[in-house]
Amino acid sequence: MPSTPSDTRADNPPDTLGRGAPGVRISGLSVVYRTPAGELPAVRGIDLELPPGTITGVVGESGSGKSTLALSLLNAVQPPGRISAGSVEIDGLGDVVTLRGEELRRARGRHVGYVFQAAQNSLNPLKPVGKQLLDLGRSHGVADLRGLVREARDLLGRMGLDGARVLDSRQHELSGGMRQRVGIMFALVLNAHLVVLDEPTTALDMITQATILRIIREVHEERGLTTLVITHDLGVVAEVADRLAVMYGGRVVEQGPTRQVLGEPLHPYTRGLIQAIPRLVGDIGEARALPGRPPTLATIPAAGCVFRERCPLRTDVCVTQEPPEVAHGARLVACHAVEGGTGEDRAGAGNHGGQDGAGEPEGRAVTAGAREEQV
């Protein structure tokens, strides 16, 4: 697999540099699902900012609302669900929640690329990849279809695939890892600068997982993207993400720079998650699974803290009052049991002062930090 030099930016079409990485501000986002028992919230009052040029990871167990959050970025929550409140501001697009019809369709694919879970079949089984690429080009009024194919072939080549051959294949002729790379190609080929990856490595073997994660990081740097990675795997987040948001029961319970959150978790749920990971070195007995089960749509408590049922630090106030997100250094934590911190240096976290100019340099700094740590 050819490793990509990081200065390939010159190969990119000129408008890549012009547009740059967009920032994303999610505020007060709530999504409800219509059920026989009424409308139940899957995501409730989420504030999250994706600083331009960063990779943000969202971690949570299944049912925590993380996939619903990801779909909200494209205003694509599937019925019977709907976005009931809040906004998703994307630089250059505006509030996605208010987009409708053609406007929304054009934004999808062109501005926001979405990569499906690898195990899911995200390609039309009857058509060769190349033909589907042309469908994509025609849908977005690309005049130079030859150029599009060339771009796709380059992208696939950079991800270590034989581009011409892949474009000639149908889904069933590709392995899981190959399909995933094709999915990434589809998300990037129109030069979208915001990329959402939903469980990008689930159901892949360890080697392929590592390859895909490396590709994500490389492409992210090379193209100057803003990336959101949804996963249940803390390892994936540790590997790629600059910033991290932990979701539980439709709420973000803790968010901040990855290194800080993983190194010194504050929220009891984050701590539980980290303790549940068995280490390669050390006693397997040290890994402690969280007691209890995550709530489902129907069992999310309506009032109080969503995590209280499984929480070792629970107090009376947790039953009645929902904990607000409180700043702790660069972090936001929603827990009554964690001592409140000051709101001084919060590297672009939260929905408050998320101005582009202010957020960007901070984001870059964090990126550099994370990189150092991994290399």
Partner 1 sequence: MVLIGVRARPGAIAVARRLAGHLARGLAMILVVTSINFVIIRNIPGDPIAARYEKLVEQGMSPDQAERATAVLYGFLPRGSLWEQYVDYMGGLLTLDLGQSLSTPGAEVTGMLAAAATWTVIPVLAGTLLSFLLGVTMGVYAAIRRSGRLGDVLAISGSLLHGVPQYVLALLLGAIFTTLWPILPGSGTADIMIEPGLTAEYVGSLAEHATLPVLTYALASYGGWILAMKSSVVTVLGDDFILAAELRGLTRGIVFRYVARNAILPLFTILALSLGLLFGGAIFIERIFTYPGLGLLLLDSITGRDYALMGGAFLLITVAIVIANIVADMLYTVIDPRVRSGEESA
Positions that interact with partner 1 (CB under 8 A):
74, 76, 78, 105-110, 114, 116, 120-127, 135-136, 138-140, 160-162, 165, 169-173, 175, 178, 183, 186-187
- The pair phi, psi for residue 250, each rounded to 5°, is 85, 5
User: Which residue, 211, 262, 206, is CA-closest to 234?
Assistant: 262
Residue among 143 and 284 whose Cβ is closer to partner 1: 143
Give yes or no for a contact between 23 and 50, defined as CB atoms under 8 angstroms apart.
yes
CB contact at 8 A, 35 and 84: no
Task: Work out how close the CB of 190 gets to partner 1 at its nearest, in angstroms, rounded to a whole number.
Answer: 8
Angle of the 145-158 helix axis to the 176-188 helix axis, nearest 10: 130
Q: Closest distance between partner 1 and the C-beta of residue 295, in Å?
A: 25
CA distance 211 to 73: 26
N- to C-terminal Cα distance for the chain? 19
Residue 364 CB, nearest approach to partner 1 (Å): 29
Before 80, cis peptide (omega within 30)?
yes
Q: How far is the CB of 116 from partner 1 (least distance, A)?
A: 5
By beta-carbon proximity to partner 1, the closer residue of 116 and 248 is: 116
Q: How far is the CB of 130 from partner 1 (least distance, A)?
A: 14
Neighbours of 193 (CB within 10 A): 23
Q: Between residues 83 and 136, which has the closer beta carbon with respect to partner 1?
A: 136
CB closer to partner 1 out of 142 and 327: 142
Name which of 106 and 232 has its Cβ closer to partner 1. Answer: 106
Least distance in Å: CB of 149 to partner 1?
A: 16
> Given the complex with partner 1, which of 195 and 234 has the nearer CB atom?
195
Q: For residues 171 and 258, which CB has a smaller minimum distance to partner 1 in the complex? A: 171
Q: Are strands 331-333 and 251-257 parallel, antiparallel or unpaired?
A: antiparallel
Q: How far is the CB of 58 from partner 1 (least distance, A)?
A: 17
Burial 332-341 (b: 16+ CB within 10 A, else e): bbbbbbbeeb
Integer Cα distance of 257 and 266 in angstroms: 13
> Residue 58's beta-bridge partner residues?
230, 245
